[in-house]
């Protein structure tokens, strides 16, 4: 059994990395859509409806499945004996980063609901600043895993 788990490790890791890339791409793009939606489109009309559709599809077709896959493959990796040293600091800083990233994901979902409900929405400047959150969290997560501080 242990040999099977070890032989699957590179596959699980590869799928984990691919799902993280897809999730991160969506986390970078959705706040940018919100910037344009709030600054140039507003909360009514055909373009508003188009933006709602784009935001919805990004969330439901890419972002949510990528987040779920990231969590599933990440948990699988963490359960493989010897992969994670739970006595070290790095798995805990990575976990904090992942939980914060998931919280940011939830915040983005809430913002999309606000656009769909007709407001209140944040300013374009606010969405631009929030667009930096996934970058900061990504740096924490990657440094935790690679440097293992």
For every residue of 47-67, DSSP letters joined together read HHHHHHHHHHHIIIIIIHHHH
C-alpha span between 136 and 138 (Å, rounded): 5
Contact predicate 114/37, CB 8 Å: no
28-to-33, 48, 135 alpha-carbon distances in Å = 9, 20, 8
Whole-number pLDDT of residue 70: 98
Whole-number pLDDT of residue 1: 67
20 contact partners, CB below 8 Å, separation of at least 6: 66, 70
Whole-number pLDDT of residue 100: 98
pLDDT > 70 in the chain, percent? 99
Whole-number pLDDT of residue 3: 82
Whole-number pLDDT of residue 2: 73
Whole-number pLDDT of residue 113: 97
Whole-number pLDDT of residue 64: 98
Whole-number pLDDT of residue 149: 82
Specify the DSSP class assigned to residue 89.
Answer: S
Whole-number pLDDT of residue 145: 95
Residue ranges in the chain modelled with pLDDT below 50: none
Q: Which pTM does this prediction carry?
A: 0.93
């Amino acid at each position: 059994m242990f040999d099977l788990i070890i032989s699957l490790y590179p596959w699980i890791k590869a799928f984990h990395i691919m799902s993280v890339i897809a999730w991160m791409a969506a986390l970078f793009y959705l706040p940018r859509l919100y910037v344009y939606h709030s600054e140039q489109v507003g909360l009514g009309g055909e373009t508003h409806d188009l933006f709602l559709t784009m935001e919805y599809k990004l969330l439901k077709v890419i972002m949510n499945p990528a987040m779920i896959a990231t969590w599933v493959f990440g948990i699988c990796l963490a359960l493989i004996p010897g992969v994670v040293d739970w006595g070290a600091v790095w798995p805990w800083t990575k976990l904090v980063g992942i939980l914060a990233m998931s919280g940011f994901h939830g915040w983005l979902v809430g913002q999309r609901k606000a656009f769909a409900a007709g407001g209140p929405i944040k300013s374009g400047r606010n969405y631009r600043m929030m667009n930096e959150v996934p970058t900061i969290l990504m740096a924490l997560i990657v440094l935790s895993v690679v440097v293992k501080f």
